[in-house]
Amino acid sequence: MSQNLAEKLLLSAAHHPEHVAVQLEADRMTYAELDQASGRVAGFLHSRGIEPGDRIGLMLPNVPEFAPVYYGILRAGAVVVPMNILLKEREVAFYLSDPEAELVLAWHEFDAAAQAGANVAGAECWVVSPQGFVEMLAGAELRAQPADRDGSDTAVILYTSGTTGKPKGAQLTHANLASNVEALLQLFSLVPDDLILGALPLFHAFGQTCTLNTAIASASTFVPVPRFNVERVLYTIECDRITVFAGVPTMFAALLHDPHRDQFDVSTLRLCISGGAAMPGEILRGFEEAFGCIILEGYGLSETSPVASFSRPDRERKVGSIGLPIEGVEMRLVDDSRQGVPQGEVGEIAIRGHNVMSGYWHRPEATAEAIDADGWFYTGDIARVDEDGYFFIVDRKKELIIRGGYNIYPREIEEVLYEHPAVAEAAVIGLPHSELGEEVGAAVSLKPGCEASQSELQAFVKERVAAYKYPRHIWFLDELPKGATGKILKREVKAPAGPTGSAKPAP
């Protein structure tokens, strides 16, 4: 049997045809309907001359149409290139020309950049709107059989946002995605009666795999959230009786801190999934208590499908840990020469297993740099592992601050800042310093109605970590800059102009 990921949809539709696959308010699509719709998308693509292996841009927000389009592309044997709906023309042109995509399907509310970028890249642009989608499908033939694909064939190309240089396209195969989904199904114990709230953008690996693909594979109901806002999520959890919610830590923080959340009945929630960034222990503890459910934290990168490790519901969950490697995946820590580090020491995480990408699209050097001959993928994340095998992220290599010769990991300082009751968000960055090389700075946003001064926070941190680590400069913002997934974007955090250098450090 074909190893096309789309087979999972057919299987679910065969067993639960009348069960709701995707719902958004009054729009409901059963598994039978989703099966049909993705079959017609495949037919539509075929009529545009798309062949197995062709790359197709998918630029849709979290709308019900995402599912049939995604599975339709896979069904046609083509490759999905998911794209952030907020990409500008120049970026769209890159995302389409780098993989030599034939066609991009773009959502009608953001199609201006898509049309313009597609023009530049020489690709076709099809605009998708709720009404237009219905018409598009009505005119298309139904392709009942998914294209025959081998597990090693590319299913999705995910461009990872690099902080330097152009993004690189991580190629995820049908087998990569299927194995990731299977491992998660076991972890989450999803059943058809589950309703999974997808607030994470589906154009990122985490949302795609952890919400949409696990929902389809388990024949449960996927409820997309087109645009995250706290009240809409609380409303949906109550009105649609959501059982599983997946988000990034900033979403959990926002939900926890909303002054009106007590007005909503969230008792149907049984499980939350967090990933994409580090979850501060305070938020984890606070959310679990307030919402009465457990949060499992996962870790991984686009290049690893994305899940590499997860905390487990059946074993001790350690606060601040990204858990244990999932079934079939190995993780180890290495030093700068890629040798294993002794137990108890920090090192870079290397991952090997069925989840590692086949390589970067048309970037053999970058691929060879990232994945060694033994199949280990080097993540650039620094971690330590305890005696029980639990991994704890310390930081990304790039986010290391080196101050007067001492290594300072921003994550550690942020963690401490989060323990202060007035702090809502914190980002610790290195500031250039003429004598020390780098100085530690922190951008902080406070909880509504709370007050704290720089000296108060500095004293707080100094009580808890070695003196050289505390942030010499703290500045306060209404909120910290975030990316599309809600992760705090450190590279957007800038210190306000002011004296640095050999001035006496704050006491």
| Binding of residue 504 to other proteins (CB under 8 A) | no
**DSSP labels, 338-397:** SPBPPTTS-EEEEEEETTS-SEETT-HHHHHHHB-TTSPEEEEEEEEE-TTS-EEEEEEG
Position 229 contacts other proteins (CB under 8 A): yes
Instruction: Judge contact between 195 and 233, C-beta under 8 A.
Output: no
Q: How far apart are CA 60 and CA 81, in angstroms?
A: 11
User: Out of 1, 260, 316, 448, which residue is the one contacting other proteins (CB under 8 A)?
Assistant: 260
Contact yes or no for 81/101 (Cβ under 8 A) = yes
Report in angstroms how near the CB of residue 115 gets to other proteins at its nearest: 19
From the CB of 256, what's the least distance to other proteins, in Å? 16
Tell me, what amino acid is at 167? Answer: P
| Stretch in the footprint of other proteins (CB under 8 A) among 212-220, 235-243, 274-282, 283-291 | 235-243
For residue 374, count CB atoms less than 10 angstroms from its CB and return exposed for 0-12, middle for 13-18, buried for 19 or more. Answer: exposed
Which residue in 51, 88, 100, 109 binds other proteins (CB under 8 A)?
Answer: 109
Can residue 27 be called a binding residue for other proteins (CB under 8 A)?
yes
Cα–Cα distance, 251 to 225 (Å, whole number): 13
Count the Cβ atoms, other than its own, within 10 Å of residue 246: 25
CB 349 within 8 A of CB 383: yes
Residue with smaller CB distance to other proteins, 165 or 259: 259
Instruction: Answer yes or no whether residue 468 interacts with other proteins by CB under 8 A.
Output: no
Measure the CA–CA gap between 207 and 199, rounded to whole angstroms: 8
Stretch that binds other proteins, among 19-27, 140-148, 315-323, 436-444 (CB under 8 A): 19-27
288 lies in the binding site for other proteins (CB under 8 A): no
**Quick one: 108 or 312, whose CB is closer to other proteins?**
108
Q: Which of 263, 343, 455, 502 binds other proteins (CB under 8 A)?
A: 263
By CB under 8 A, is residue 134 in contact with other proteins? no
Side chain identity at residue 139, one-letter code? G
Residue 264 contacts other proteins per CB under 8 A: yes
In terms of CB distance, is 100 or 109 closer to other proteins? Answer: 109
What is the distance between the alpha carbons of residues 473 and 420, in angstroms, rounded to a whole number? 17
What is the rounded CA–CA span in Å between residue 408 and residue 399?
A: 9
Tell me which residue of 228, 322, 235, 315 sits closest to 284, measured CA to CA: 322
| Residue whose CB is less far from other proteins, 260 or 504 | 260
Whole-number Å distance between alpha carbons of 415 and 309: 21
CB of 233 to other proteins, least distance (A): 8
State the nearest-atom distance from the C-beta of 357 to other proteins, in Å. 35
* Residue ranges in 43-102 that form contacts with other proteins under rule CB under 8 A: none
Report if residue 239 touches other proteins, rule: CB under 8 A: yes
Please give the Cα distance from 502 to 299 (Å, whole number). 40
DSSP annotation of 226: S
* Three-state SS at 418: helix
Stretch that binds other proteins, among 96-104, 177-185, 258-266, 402-410 (CB under 8 A): 258-266
State in angstroms the smallest separation of the CB of 44 from other proteins.
Answer: 23
Give CA–CA dist 87/365, Å, rounded: 27
What is the nearest approach in angstroms of other proteins to the Cβ of residue 116? Answer: 21
Query: Cβ of residue 81: shortest distance to other proteins, in angstroms?
Result: 25
- Minimum separation from the CB atom of position 476 to other proteins (A): 22
Residue 26 within binding range of other proteins, rule CB under 8 A: yes
Output 109 or 289, the one with its CB closest to other proteins: 109
Q: Which of these ranges, 12-20, 87-95, 230-238, 492-500, lies near other proteins under the rule CB under 8 A?
A: 230-238
Look at the block and give the residue holding tokens 């949302």: 207
238 binds other proteins (CB under 8 A): yes
Name the token pair of 409.
């990991």
Task: Tell me if 33 contacts other proteins by CB under 8 A.
Answer: no
Residues that bind other proteins (CB under 8 A): 24-27, 109, 226-227, 229-232, 234-235, 238-239, 260, 263-264
